[in-house]
Amino acid sequence: MLYLGCPQWSAAHWKGRFFTSDCKTADMLREYAQIFNSVEGNTSFYASPKPDTITTWSNAVPDTFRFTFKIPKHISHELALSQCQQELKQWLDLFSPLFPRLGMVMLQLPASCSPEYLTRIADFIAQIPKELTLGIEVRHRDFFAKGDAEKRFNQLLMHTGVNRIIMDTRPLFSEPPATPAILDAQQKKPRVPVNVIATAQAPMLRFVGCSDLAANRTFYAPWLNKIRGWLNEGRTPYVFFHTADNHDAPLLARQFIQDLGIPHQVLDPFPAERQPQQQTLI
């Protein structure tokens, strides 16, 4: 199974293009789930939703849909994984109604989190319930240097069944900052090497595309064989497509699947494409 999605489901500029033109904000997740079978939930990184919101999200998607949510920044960045047991338990308790539809919890670590924190990372992993799938994204350069530090990190992930999240920002940085959106994205996204490895059963790729859809093919071409290989090995990849403003992210995802050559619901008509067109009287 390949889980595919974008880094958000609520986007006003998708109305009339991918969502139906009269789609209300409350209905965006339902229409998003008609296009994709997963989503990269970044909002949880900054703030926790209310319990009734969790229930609303769960009821808006089919049983086959899988959410991924980031562990709060307060835990990963401010507490630096230290003495966070109570905060983590509260967060997991909040999201527990979504566990049946939770594909992965994501731990995004700051660039300041060096290999010196490896013991803290191991202690944190031990706190995650066994029924949940965990993915970790690192940004410190030593984790990409192919030296002893990276080897020890990868071995930890393999031993504990944790997925190493891979971020490919090469397309984003291949173009000049010609728009405010591109400039903002280039300032915020990490420019780290792309070290390709599957440390567990659910490898995750976060692909940040450039504004020219066709130009992205050069960058994701190697990923086509890698994704096919992971699927043939029985793994369950998660692939999320970003662009600087995410305006065309669904089109990039559809283009990728077309080139991948496997069936996927993103190839079906978007809700906007199925919406009856109003007849104009002349």
- CA-atom Rg of the chain in angstroms: 19
The single-letter DSSP state of residue 76 is I
Which alpha helices (DSSP H) does the chain contain, by range? 28-35, 51-60, 73, 85-95, 118-127, 148-160, 180-188, 216-232, 249-260, 271-274
pLDDT at 13: 92
Contact 26, 262 (CB under 8 A): no
Residue 45 has which token pair? 């990184």
Cα separation, 226 vs 125, in Å, equals 27
pLDDT at 275: 81
Superfamily of domain 3-274: Protein of unknown function UPF0759 (3.20.20.410)
pLDDT at 277: 67
Q: How buried is 191 (Cβ within 10 angstroms: 0-12 exposed, 13-18 middle, 19+ buried)? A: exposed
pLDDT at 282: 47
Provide the Cα torsion 156, 240, 183, 194; round to 10°. 40
Cα separation, 134 vs 128, in Å, equals 8
Confidence (pTM): 0.94
How many Cα atoms occupy the beta-carbon half-sphere of 40 within 13 Å?
Answer: 23
Taking 70 as the pLDDT cut, the residues of the chain under it are 277-282
With CA atoms as reference, report the closest residue to 37 among 1, 69, 12: 1
Cα separation, 10 vs 32, in Å, equals 8
Contact 28, 19 (CB under 8 A): yes
Q: For 258, phi and psi rounded to 5 degrees? A: -60, -45
Cα separation, 172 vs 174, in Å, equals 6
SS3 content of the chain, % helix, strand, coil (to 5): 45, 15, 40
Which alpha helices (DSSP H) does 68-147 contain, by range? 73, 85-95, 118-127
Contact 171, 215 (CB under 8 A): yes
Cα separation, 53 vs 58, in Å, equals 9
Cα separation, 6 vs 63, in Å, equals 19
pLDDT at 280: 47
pLDDT at 278: 57
With CA atoms as reference, report the closest residue to 105 among 120, 125, 86, 81: 125
pLDDT at 281: 44
Provide the Cα torsion 57, 61, 66, 67; round to 10°. -20
Cα separation, 110 vs 166, in Å, equals 14
